Structure 1
Amino acid sequence: MEETLIEAVRQQTAIWQITSHSYRDIRVKENAWKEVARELDISVELAMKKWISLRDRFVRELKKTTHRVFGDSGPPTTSSWKYFEILMFLADTMKHQQKAGFNSLFTSSDKMFDECDGTANQLVLGET
């Protein structure tokens, strides 16, 4: 199911591509999440929660591969997490957000728009 979710989200650039105008359009983003949920036959809330978990794990894995431990002269490590390679389409977006000062991306919490009632929910996901 995770690979299907990743592919469904990848096709909905309004969800993840921050340079797209549709990324900032709440209605477009709502519809994108509804389409992802429909494809997987799950609720929008569950699709979002699973995506945030996958994305947050990807961010942690990406940080491990790009940052060396102080004093380590060896090459950066690589990730053995099975979804790392298929989520690499997010790498440029992560770098762009970090440069823009959105360092909160590198935490395991995320504010997402709740399609049901129009409020922002704070979703805090534990380490996996």
Structure 2
Amino acid sequence: MDVERLINKVCERPVLWDQKNKYCHNRDFVRGAWNEIAEDCGTDSEVLKNKWKNLRDTFRSELKKTRAERSGDGGMPHFQSNWLWYELMTFLTDIMTPRKTKTNVHHSKRTASQHDDAHDNVPFSPALNRERECFT
């Protein structure tokens, strides 16, 4: 299999790799693009899809290595990938940039001791008191 050809053919068809493409979730467009590449490469589209997945996963792994900068690295040179297909796959860099994360955790301005005091304000309940007695 000509890997360089496969990478170039996929690159020419953003429907296969660009999540912002309006047709990327349309199965007919995606299937058609893979069938075109399969016909051009003279092989089965499933074989190509599997090879592409492996290439994409390897690129993602290599890209993470290039971005791994730690505070203790100081004067260390940046990682340069030696993977044969890295440069050809760089068209994927923008779509593999980590997204900013959002959190659903709200930060409280109360201190831990204030948080504990809040539980002390629970009204007295004889039923709760009896339950506690059963477990001691």
| TM-score (norm. length: structure 1) | 0.72
* RMSD between aligned residues: 1.5
Separation (CA, whole Å) in 1 of partners of 2:100 and 2:9: 27
- Equivalent position to 2:79, from 77, 97, 100: 77
Q: Which residue of 1 aligns with 2:91?
A: 89
Q: Of the two, which has the highest radius of gyration?
A: 2
Q: Which residue of 2 aligns with 1:121?
A: none
Q: Which residue of 1 aligns with 2:128?
A: none
Separation (CA, whole Å) in 2 of partners of 1:68 and 1:39: 41
% identical equivalent positions:
31
Partner of 1:51: helix, strand, or coil? helix
Q: Which residue of 1 aligns with 2:3?
A: 2
Separation (CA, whole Å) in 2 of partners of 1:100 and 1:27: 31
Separation (CA, whole Å) in 1 of partners of 2:17 and 2:29: 12
Partner of 2:24: helix, strand, or coil? helix
1:64 aligns with 2:65: yes
> Which structure carries more strand by proportion?
1
Deviations 1:92-113 (A, max 9, x none): 0111xx3176xxxxxxxxxxxx
Partner of 2:72: helix, strand, or coil? coil
Deviations 1:28-54 (A, max 9, x none): 011011111111111011000000111
Q: Which runs of 4+ in 1 moved over 4 A?
A: none
Superposition deviation, residue 70 in structure 1: 5.7
For 2:10, the aligned partner's letter is V
Q: 1:22-61, aligned counterparts within 5 Å?
A: 22-61=23-62
Separation (CA, whole Å) in 1 of partners of 2:41 and 2:71: 43
Change (3 A) 1:89 1:43: same
For 1:45, the aligned partner's letter is E
Q: How many residues align?
A: 99
Judge which range, 40-49 or 63-72, deviates more: 63-72
Partner of 1:18: helix, strand, or coil? coil
Change (3 A) 1:27 1:68: same
Structure 2: segments with no counterpart, 5+ residues: 102-136
For 1:99, the aligned partner's letter is R
